[in-house]
Amino acid sequence: MILANTYHLALRPGSEVVQRLGGLHRFMSWDGPILTDSGGFQVFSLAEIRSVTDEGVVFRSHVDGATIELTPKRAIEIQNQLGADVIMTFDECPPLPSSREVVARAVERSIAWASVCRESHQREDQALFGIVQGGLDLELRLRCAAALLNLDFPGYAIGGLSVGETHDEMIRVLEPTAAALPTERPRYLMGVGKPRDILAAVRAGVDMFDCVLPTRNGRNAEVFTAQGRLKLRNQRHAFDDAPLETGCNCLACRRFCRGYLRHLFMAREMLGPTLATIHNLRFYQRFLARVRDRIIDGTLDRIENEFPIVAVDDPDETEKEGVNDA
């Protein structure tokens, strides 16, 4: 599934343009499933250029400074025009840390906005998911989940995690929150993430994930392997003729060695980020395919043997850059 963003597409090229050109599937020439975020995450990530009220959010465009207003109704209207298969309610993601008062206010807004989104949704061929907020406050999480269940969405997302909390803090609220959501409908953990976090969430009953790590890290010369992460600018890879990961069938691993990929990054050739991204996406596909296989055969507890990366406390530290690295 490909994720596209309501806020960014509303700015460029505009949802009306996408609609007139046949919707996102035809616009991108992608016949697989597509999910659009509502723009709610930008309420968190673009805090410096927005103001929030109970009615919605006003942004100052990061592109040209123009004023952009996103309300729950407008967010759904844009997503109806974009035509993704799965669309999201408009929500408020509170920053971490936040006072309980701030988190509670975000929960109440998210619940109220979800109701407006439900009423505004016009297309039966799009599944509208509700988003559970509540920060690290389990009581507020469960209150939000219960309110969204009353709105009877076809799927439910858990938002507001992976915003700076520790792995243990995330799991503490994730497990009971996921358990409060219906097992017969998709449960989607937004913004996660690291293989270790994904595996813990799968064990908690989560079905879907999205994260920028495969692409962002690939652009920055970092690749995922079953054993851990590799930093391709490290001097140790300069003469290495091995693939990024033995046994991986991605284009980068089939055709090129670590030394060549390091050269591409050192020379600032755009092919380097492209190949690293291709590998990272394939790594995640392989990882989750094996997770599914092991769920089916009842051996999920053995996944760490195939993917030791999931046992690393801090995967960011798998391979540190040395003093001779660029």
How many Cα atoms within 13 Å fall on the side-chain side of residue 323?
0
Say if residue 179 is in the same domain as residue 115. Answer: yes
Any domain includes 131: yes
- The domain spanning residue 175 has which CATH number? 3.20.20.105
Residues taking part in catalysis: 37, 210
In this structure, is residue 42 part of a structural domain?
Answer: yes
| Assigned domain for 326 exists | no
- Give the pLDDT confidence score for residue 48 in this predicted structure: 80
Does residue 324 form part of some domain?
no
pLDDT attached to residue 308 = 97
Residues 79, 130, 182, 190: is their CA dihedral positive or negative? positive
Our count of domains for the chain comes to 2
Same domain, yes or no, for 200 and 232? no
* Residue 97 preceded by cis peptide, ω within 30: yes
- Give domain status of residue 322, yes or no: no
In a domain, 125, yes or no: yes
The rounded distance, in Å, linking the Cα atoms of 282 and 218 is: 12
The number of beta carbons lying within 10 Å of the beta carbon of residue 180 is: 19
Alpha-carbon distance of 101 to 230, in angstroms, equals 42
76 and 165 share a domain?
yes
- Residue 172 falls inside a structural domain: yes
Range of the structural domain that residue 253 is part of: 215-317
Out of 148, 182, 211, a domain closes at: 211
pLDDT along the chain (326 residues), means of 10: 93 96 98 93 76 89 84 97 98 93 97 98 98 98 98 98 94 98 98 96 97 97 97 98 98 98 98 98 98 98 96 64 42
CA-closest candidate to residue 11, choices 52, 70, 85, 93:
70
DSSP string of 127-141?
EEEEEE--TT-HHHH
Residues 130 and 177 in one domain: yes
Domain assignment of residue 323, yes or no: no
pLDDT at 318: 63
Looking at the fold, whether 41 and 158 belong to one and the same domain comes out as yes
CA pair distance 203, 166, nearest whole angstrom: 18
Pair (167, 225) in one structural domain: no
For residue 92, the SS3 value is: coil
